[in-house]
Structure 1
């Protein structure tokens, strides 16, 4: 993983520089989260506190599975870790600074933006693994918030016992889904624990009154989950969850997913928008914005999304 650009803050926590962080610094091209939610891409940490553990072996996942490289460990049982959280956050921030340190002398990077990047303001808790398996997730969220960082937790929703009992909630919660019924879930998401679909549904039922913005991210794969049955199926999911936002987003043909899917499964932005239009009609969630480089649409009953940073040039709803 180190050869692939991962930085280990400790034995279970990894960071990696997001391509949009690099693009923001060198080209002033910003992530869709900047456009939609105001997140300053050059000031965003991409990390995971559960690097090696997950309860799913999703077909579309870009990460290598143990069996892909001839290894074996129990991905479902993350040990409890008792390290000091303040110290861990220190290491995470220091790791981000180290990963970006070379941009200080980059000819295309403004000194002002580099200095801002050295003072991160947002954390995307995603990257790899299932973060809700980390026993001190709530303490981690609390420490980030204490330091003035907004948090964006991305999960498959398989731990309702964790997500629905957090006293310190993330700034924004993402539930990432590709399947709209149990049969598809078993094939596409390949659960490694019993009743994973039922646990996910339990999470969704607890989210209408979550008290923080929630997002249903639907990873779209051509010829798999984009037909009329998918529109009907995801509409039922949306009715249960009642998310603040819906993000239909194209699957990207990258990483280890290329061992399982083909480039033909990667939809165009136009196909994503066509799906979004049908889903909008079915659910009553208007399309509010889109980002062509990321092949993603934003649907919401809010006229304008809740913002967490100063955003990007060009506004949030217009073309990229």
Structure 2
């Protein structure tokens, strides 16, 4: 039975925290301007580009194509808005250099109640999607469906493994019939090994191929981050839920043979269910650290995916051109966690037709 939540008190605590220092205030103002909605005290929700596309243009994200996730019913959230053990060059998380102020990024200063985060994330998602009610261009049946979210992507910004009650958060979503996709850089293998409840699907996000490249690109804030990531690769094998190694390809950085051979060895160690080869997105704070030339074209992603297929034996199953991503798999057909895009693997163009050669999400 759900407990009664005093939303006025939740808001009061949130305002008190974000006004408690100049750094926190600057983070808050920047993130609100970027379209983030704060939940609990330090959690956030943001509407995904594909939620809008689903209701306005009948187009869906790659998670719909491959795993059945209904884009308009998916909550994009993080329990830790601005905390992580890395300062990756390609990340859109707000980092101290972006605002000229410093805070301890490695330790969360507040631990929100999982039930508050889940309930408020649902509430905010409904409020965001309700904005399409009455819009003549929106599919009103889909807008109504969005009021009953079925999926949560715990991946938006920051490192979710720094949230001490992550297993409880996952459990709270599952209790409500909401699936969870957890995305991590894997610097807390201890947390992954001790989750009270596994996510519906686990993603390990990977960019670097050795310790030197990791320290230069992922810029760890803690000792032994590369070694901790190596431990995570081994832990992935023990998960019962489907697992994904998502290789974010940065043009001119990790698209060469040495990197791809190292990635293949990681796949051999971790034995993930899937590999996703995804283009780096020239977004947010990363625009001050990388250049537009670092964002690969879809042809570049196809080439890398084909080479990884040769090196790993994983089969190229599908792609989504607008998201510049290719799916490789060691099983014949992806496990589906929802009713969206039923033949999306075989016919991605049917569910996500290409509208432009530009990277759409940059404009949203």
What is the TM-score normalised by the length of structure 2?
Answer: 0.86
Following TM superposition, by how much is the alpha carbon of 1:167 offset from its aligned partner in structure 2, in angstroms?
2.6
Do residues 118 (structure 1) and 147 (structure 2) align?
yes
Following TM superposition, by how much is the alpha carbon of 1:260 offset from its aligned partner in structure 2, in angstroms?
1.0
* Preserved CA contact (<8 Å) 1:44 1:121: yes
* Preserved CA contact (<8 Å) 1:286 1:299: yes
For 1:211, what is the secondary structure of its paired residue? coil
Q: 1:198 aligns with which of 199, 204, 227?
A: 227
- Using the TM superposition, name which of 172-181 and 99-108 deviates more: 99-108
Do residues 46 (structure 1) and 56 (structure 2) align?
no
Do residues 260 (structure 1) and 286 (structure 2) align?
no
Q: 1:180 aligns with which of 209, 215, 218?
A: 209
For 2:183, what is the secondary structure of its paired residue? strand
Structure 2 CA distance, aligned partners of 1:214 and 1:134? 20
1:176-222 deviations in whole A, cap 9, x for unaligned?
01001111100110000010110011011111121110000000011
1:109-141 deviations in whole A, cap 9, x for unaligned?
122101100000000001100001011111110
For 1:298, what is the secondary structure of its paired residue? strand
For 1:183, what is the secondary structure of its paired residue? helix
* Preserved CA contact (<8 Å) 1:176 1:217: yes
Following TM superposition, by how much is the alpha carbon of 1:80 offset from its aligned partner in structure 2, in angstroms?
5.0
- Number of the residue aligned with 1:171: 200
Following TM superposition, by how much is the alpha carbon of 1:317 offset from its aligned partner in structure 2, in angstroms?
2.4
- Number of the residue aligned with 1:2: 32
Do residues 67 (structure 1) and 67 (structure 2) align?
no
1:62-110 deviations in whole A, cap 9, x for unaligned?
2231221111100001135253x32332111101111122101111112
CA-based RMSD = 1.2
- Number of the residue aligned with 2:255: 226
- Using the TM superposition, name which of 132-141 and 2-11 deviates more: 2-11
Q: Would you say how many aligned residue pairs link Structure 1 and Structure 2?
A: 319
Residue ranges of structure 2 left out of the alignment (5+ in a row): 1-30, 350-364
- Number of the residue aligned with 2:19: none
For 1:154, what is the secondary structure of its paired residue? strand
Structure 2 CA distance, aligned partners of 1:133 and 1:63? 15
Residue ranges of structure 1 left out of the alignment (5+ in a row): none
* Preserved CA contact (<8 Å) 2:205 2:246: yes
